[in-house]
A and B are shown apart, each in its own frame.
Chain A
Amino acid sequence: MAEWVTTHLPALVILVPLTAAPLAFLLGGTLARPIALLSALLSQPLALALAFTVSAEGGVRYEIGGWGGPLGIDLVADGLAATLILVATVVGLGVTVYAWGYFADRERYRYFWPLWLFLWASLYALFLSGDLFNLYVCLELVSMAAVALVGLSLRRDALLAAMRYMLAAILGSLFYLLGVALVYAAFGSIDIATVREAVRADVTGQAAFALMTVGLMLKTALFPLHFWLPPAHSNAPSPVSAVLSALVVKGSFYILVRMWVDVADPSFVPGSAALLGVLGASAIVWGSVQAMRQERLKMLVAYSTVAQIGYLFLLFPLVAGGGAAAADAWVGGMFHAASHALAKAAMFLAAGTVLARFGHDRIAGLGGLSRRAPVTAMAFALAGVTMMGLPPSGGFVAKWQMIRAALESGAWWWAVVVVAGGLLAAVYIFRVVALFLGREGAEGEDADVDAGRSPATMEWATLALALAALALGVLGQPLVELIGVGAPALVAGVGP
């Protein structure tokens, strides 16, 4: 039995939520929640086992049905994929527990459960995909589920945001698919391992990469293509906001990393690394400044996502030179993806608790929250520590590695960007935290509307995610090592 599980581990990881999704839809009603929770709990040991297997064997390749490429579909897992799967699993459990309380008696949200489980399965499949076309399919599945989830409330602004999100997503997919077609034309394959061997700098190949990159930038909401993100993420029901900001944007980013670090390296299209880095730096500044100016908590958190996505893109210039700096940047970038996922989920969930309880999320009306909702206020503040990149938190370990990589490669200006980004984040985080500590009733009328204490599942799931982001800063060494398992040659730390 144990051996059977180990052999089929990559497939099982996907199958659990993929089976749960239709069950939750068909059985529906009161059974949907327990099914989702059971699936979430089952996913935990499976994802852990996959991480252990990848660590032990340096990577996993699984042929679905035993067909093998190029006809069959292969699932591939290296350290990067295992890391993101682990993150998705932990965040997924937190969101599921939170949603248990959040959607407790809301009949019109009954489609949340199947859609969410389907999105979860699609994300797993995306991280495990071994070829560019399967990545496209998974990305589409993720996007479709995400769009439906954004519009779940059927409120006018939510539907509008969902429409805008869908247009951006479709446009992004089109660009990406065009690129994939050109890759096939140029290199005769779309299997990642095969393309990696065949890749050479010709015009078709470069055009293919450019198209795919633009599409994925749109999907990842990299500045200046971020316009759709704040309304979509802030108007969605809060558990959905958490999933979108924490996990869904990482899906398209994951493909970008595969393209530019694994399949080819940034020198494949001259100037690409610097361009992505500059856009990332701009995102950090623009997103942070916008976050400072928001009047609604969920909008603030959404713009914070725009800023934090920027750090991910600093990865490309930092790894471009290879060597030890690239290895450090690799760990830093992926650690950032992991800790941001945990902390940003916690932030959106905290904002959701506030919204559910007080009927609004106007920042000015949140005075004294640490007295009225201590657990939620604490969770938000602790998640903020990771956003600022201060120790002890996973965000700190990530920034430590990025700054180290920047100094190591002599490109100190990226270090300046990382440091400045942390201070900008402090401005918008402490603006909110100071209010939490402040006096109540900054807006008189808000004091009257209080639905009473939120369900414990919501409060504690939020705090647990925030604490997990902190724990990464002290106990994160196993993750640091997992990220490095089977890392692409460019970032394996050998030679320049």
Chain B
Amino acid sequence: MSWELTALLVAVGTPFAVAAAVFAIGERRHTLRGATNLAGAALTAGAVVACAVSAWQRFGGGPFAEGSIALLDIGFGLRADPLGVVFAVVAGVLWLVTTVYAIGYMSHASDRARFFGFFSICVGSAIGIALSANLLTFFVFYETLTLATYPLVAHSGTPAALRGGRTYLTYALPAGAALAVGVIWLNLIAGPVEFAAGGSLDPALASTHPGSLIVIFALLMFGLGVKAALFPVHGWLPAAMVAPAPVSSLLHAVAVVKAGVFGIARVVLEVYGPIAHELDLTPYLAALAGFTIIYGSVRALAQDDFKKRLAFSTIAQLSYITLGVALASPIAIAGGIAHLAHHAAMKITMFFTAGAVAEEVKAYRVSEFDGLGRRMPLTMGAFSLAALGIVGVPPIAGFASKWFLGIGALDAGEGAWVIAVLGVSSVLNAAYFFPIMHRAWFRAPKAEWAAGPPPGSAEGDLRMVVPILVTALIGLVLGIAAGADVSPASWALRIGMTEVPW
């Protein structure tokens, strides 16, 4: 077996093996469980980077590394291709950071074996989604992710958590059913559907089966749109904020929601390709994404609950990626794909912050944040950096992706309305993030916060503070180094060029 195939199998298989080990280790042996989890996460991170190296070496040359086993007429296949490794690296590397954070955050919680076990399954599914070579494999991992997320949302077992879980399923299961029908139908009329840059469907199908292709597209977009939190099927995401902070951070800012937008990118760019434009499907998707951007931002303004404000912000930001994909210009696509990585680093920082603040000073609402910067300077500093990045202040990561999106929109001839949406959105981002920063840094703190962190200790559990700083730093570096060859932004540009060869 070549090192590339080994890397693929290790990247996808390790999280599932970690899950099995964690379940077997059980509830009481915390050190062993934590060590196993960290070792598995480190191995996974290494493996996804190896997959990226493989894709890098083969870019523009021969076929990408892949492996498959037979199942029905289509098979179960994994492949390290350029688009896939972006998401795989994001999920795999951030899992390592999140594991450290989660061990700290959950150090007093119950049912930790169950928590970390299902968490690992979610990550394994996300990496599987990223590295799937065909639509069947993608769907299998996608639904595994749906199921494995449920016990995490409902983790605490309180009536509120169970309600959040039920809301999540009410959206996710019908979406999965629609996706299943869409995938089966597409396989039926087009044969086994593989992913390929520039679209894999035979262009002749656009004239022979236009009606079916349109209905299938709608089914797929509904199925993927729920996880991508596209309006009007976004409602589960704020409800899912009842989950523990590591879940909100890695899953509901990165792995689960980005599985949805990543799926949209795969279907629009690498399955439908030119057919999506020939049948005039992408303008509707772009319009829906544009609306979601504004809608999410406006709703975020009104949230006092910190995590819910972040959730609505996520809803808006995810649609940047969808918008980029739908615009069909190489640079806009690059902007969308770059934002997949950039937003991940920034938003995970913010959700980490929410968890740290809730644990350390029991503050859950924005209105309770007065003077918090004095009490938790590093944490709130990292948060502020990420918030500036999402608003689009250079040189933090968010700027680069918004820049690409704007240029790409001009390139696609859709300039005016897209730039208007981006502009309005940036203003709204500022309007819901700046008040948080203002409260934290400029309002008078509560008496017990005025003296700063308690003497003799850091501002919180170091296992939580350090990951926050690390992800904030990643966000900063991704922006500063956007021009480097290996940055997600440059990588996304190269992908963008291959996705629109027509």
A residues apposed to B, CB below 8 Å: 368, 370-371, 374, 378, 385, 388, 390-392, 396-397, 399-401, 403-404, 407-408, 415, 419, 422-423, 426, 430, 433-434, 437-439, 473-477, 480
Contacts and interface: CB of A to CB of B under 8 A. Distances in A.
A426 B181 contact: no
A434 B166 contact: yes
A423 B225 CA distance: 19
Interface string B110-153: 11011000000000000000000000000110011011001100
A469 B176 CA distance: 20
Contacts of B165: 434, 437
Contacts of B177: 419, 422-423
B69 interface: yes
A437 B147 contact: no
B210 interface: no
Nearest to B117: A378
A133 B90 CA distance: 64
B184 interface: yes
A407 B188 contact: yes
A101 B194 CA distance: 48
B291 interface: no
A110 B146 CA distance: 45
B233 interface: no
A370 B114 contact: yes
Interface of B: 23, 26, 69-72, 76, 110-111, 113-114, 139-140, 143-144, 146-147, 150-151, 154-155, 157-159, 162, 165-166, 169, 173-174, 176-177, 180-181, 184-185, 187-188
A391 B71 CA distance: 13
Contact of B169 (A400, A404, A426): A426
A370 B111 contact: yes
20 contacts: A371-B111, A385-B147, A390-B143, A392-B144, A400-B184, A403-B180, A403-B184, A407-B188, A408-B188, A419-B180, A423-B173, A426-B169, A434-B162, A437-B155, A437-B162, A437-B165, A474-B69, A474-B71, A476-B71, A480-B71
A482 B176 CA distance: 29
Given A404-B188, A426-B169, A397 B72 contact: yes
A391 B184 contact: no
Nearest to B153: A437
A462 B436 CA distance: 51
Given A407-B188, A477-B70, 5 more contacts: A368-B157, A391-B140, A422-B177, A437-B157, A474-B76
Interface residues of A, dominant DSSP: helix
Contacts of A477: 69-72
B361 to A, nearest CB: 27
A310 B270 CA distance: 38
Contacts of A415: 181
Nearest to B140: A391
Nearest to A402: B184
Nearest to B158: A439
B431 to A, nearest CB: 38
A400 B72 contact: yes
A404 B162 contact: no
B192 to A, nearest CB: 12
Nearest to A404: B184
Contacts of B159: 438
B71 to A, nearest CB: 5
Nearest to A370: B114
Contacts of B166: 430, 434
A210 B378 CA distance: 79
Contacts of A437: 151, 154-155, 157, 162, 165
Contacts of A475: 69
B176 A390 contact: yes
Contacts of A439: 157-158
A443 to B, nearest CB: 16
Nearest to A476: B71
A433 B181 CA distance: 26
Given A390-B143, A423-B174, A378 B154 contact: no
A407 B184 contact: yes
